[in-house]
Amino acid sequence: MEDHLQISPAGAKAIPGKEQQAAGYGILLQIMMLVLSFVIGHVLRRRHFYYIPEASASLLIGLIVGGLANVSDTETSIRAWFNFHEEFFFLFLLPPIIFQSGFSLSPKPFFSNFGAIITFAILGTFIASFVTGILVYLGGVTYLMYRLPFVECLMFGALISATDPVTVLSIFQELGTDVNLYALVFGESVLNDAMAISLYRTMSLVRSHMSTDQNYFMITIRFVETFMGSLSAGVGVGFVSALLFKYAGLDIDNLQNLESCLFVLFPYFSYMLAEGLGLSGIVSILFTGVVMKRYTYPNLSESSQRFVSAFFHLISSLAETFVFIYMGFDIAMEKHSWSHVGFIFFSILFIVIARAANVFGCAYLVNLVRPPHQKIPAKHQKALWYSGLRGAMAFALALQPVHDLPEGHGQAIFTATTAIVVLTVLIIGGSAGTMLEALEVVGDGQSGSMDETFEGNNGYIAPSYRDESYDGEPSSGNRFRMKLKEFHKSTTSFSALDKNYLTPFFTTQGGDEDEDEPIMHSSRRAGYDGH
């Protein structure tokens, strides 16, 4: 595995001219695969062929090229110049992908369903991680699969809980769906990444302190500190950027290049600030994207708005397409632990069970506080369950156990994660269109809600609440329901706070600048419009 993570040939004493030529061939190969992926993706979308989504096409291209290189005598040189450290993921590929996720959120459906999204993304990811980890551990104890220590099972559960429903969201945009369902799937997947990273790092911290008597309560406090600290850093940088662009007067013709350059630098500033403070840069840059889109973006000139939107969409599309190509290439060229077939099979079964516990359990809690006509329908719950594909984040996190865990353990986790990503992208991604049509959540009957503003949507919306009084002491069930309602009330209050105070303070416009903004935004998770 060490060889596979090297950027340049280890110990190579080739002539400088030959090295440069080999590097040129490697870069040319990568560019050719990217071009081929975008062209094939465009053709598939034009033909409305949903059985091979863009992500699947990119993955297959990497598999084919890697397979051809593996059976030829060029394997060593291609491997040397194509592969890279996982730091390349976290420093150059994942930041633009995650930032675009937050930047492309549409505020109204997101904040109107904020309580449900937070429930699925935070509580749901926590449930999925621990259910997966516990089941994998029990599978090892009962000799159904390769046995891992309990904490390592929880690490695997955390990293494999990161979802990437790129194919499902692409189909939603193509065929139309209920805006609230889109907001739930998209919002949950965005915040889910942040939660999965924080959980994984917390489990790694638990493992590193197992030999000491450190209190697990302190580990939990550390998790909260990391997540909330990263969130605060991201939000803080976003607010600072909003005030800068509001008062600096950069939206004039001869300063628009400076305006765009500064805007592009702020996300990476947020990322590096969090990493420098020992926090999570990915979590920070995600919330920087949310805040900058809501408060900084309206302060830009129109030409700068067009440029930054196109720029981040471009680099996030390139980055994620390259990630899927690389995954396919890596699978074909690497020596994986395929001897642990049982570990892979039962892991897939367990993540399906954990995803069901996540979605249906959280949906039950959300529906407890919603009136009958505003509950999340069963078919939407099934669509949310089916959309839990695994993608770039799970793959990138799985690179770390190879170094952090004992030999064999990390390789088993990496191989299982790679197999799960490939199978979900190819099989579930390819069947997503048929499945969503069977559930009747996409199609002509749904397209109206895609084109209307949020207020005109006829689907379920975040409910308005009224105080309820009880005769006598409320039961424990009623007290629990009242607490849930109080939580949902706070999300409604935040919408009012945003409109009445935050938007006027941080932007040059009023609170209604997005009234006519389309619900759906182009994003890396919603397909690549450049295809």
434 inside domain: no
Domain assignment of residue 37, yes or no: no
Query: Distances in Å between the alpha carbon of 50 and those of 58, 61, 185, 402?
Result: 14, 17, 19, 35
**DSSP letters for 144-204:** SS----HHHHHHHHHHTT-B--HHHHHHHHHH-B-HHHHHHHHHHHHHHHHHHHHHHHHHH
pTM, two decimals, is 0.75
Torsional class of 253: left (φ above 0), alpha (ψ -120 to 50), beta (otherwise): alpha
Residue 53, in any domain of the structure: no
Residue 315's identity, in one-letter code, is I
Residue 104 belongs to domain spanning: 86-415
Structure tokens at 528: 């690549």
Reading the block at residue 375, the tokens are 């509950």
Number of H helices, E strands in the chain: 24, 0
DSSP labels, 232-296 = HHHHHHHHHHHHHHHHS---SGGGHHHHHHHHHHHHHHHHHHHHHTTS-HHHHHHHHHHHIIIII
Nearest CA-CA partner of 348 in 107, 125, 156: 156
Residue 74 lies in a domain: no
**Is residue 365 in some structural domain?**
yes
Burial of 453 (C-beta count, 10 Å sphere; 0-12/13-18/19+): middle
Distances (CA, A) of 378 to 65, 362, 466: 42, 12, 25
Residue 310 in any domain: the answer is yes
* Closest listed residue to residue 312, CA positions, set 270, 257, 275, 263: 263
pLDDT at 478: 59
| Confidence (pLDDT) at 7 | 42
Bridge partners of 177, per DSSP, are 442
Nearest to 197 by CA among 80, 257, 298, 286: 286
Give the integer Cα–Cα distance in Å for 293 and 267: 11
Looking at the 3D structure of the chain, how many domains does it have? 1
User: How would you write the pLDDT of the chain (531 residues) with one tens digit per residue?
Assistant: 444 444 444 444 445 667 677 677 777 888 888 899 889 888 887 877 777 777 888 888 888 888 777 776 555 566 666 655 667 777 888 888 888 888 887 767 777 788 888 899 889 999 999 999 999 999 989 988 888 888 889 999 999 988 877 667 777 777 677 788 888 888 888 788 888 888 888 888 777 766 555 566 777 787 888 888 998 999 999 999 999 988 887 766 667 788 889 999 999 999 999 988 888 888 899 889 989 998 899 888 888 889 999 999 999 888 888 888 887 887 777 666 667 788 888 999 999 999 999 999 999 999 888 777 778 888 889 888 888 877 777 887 887 777 777 777 888 888 888 888 888 888 887 787 788 888 888 754 454 444 343 443 434 444 443 444 444 445 555 555 555 555 555 555 667 777 777 888 888 865 444 444 444 444 444 333 434
Q: Does 516 map to a domain?
A: no
CATH number for position 323: 1.20.1530.20
Tell me whether residue 256 is in a domain: yes
Q: Is 442 helix (H, G, I), strand (E, B) or coil?
A: strand
Question: What was the pLDDT predicted at 250?
Answer: 72
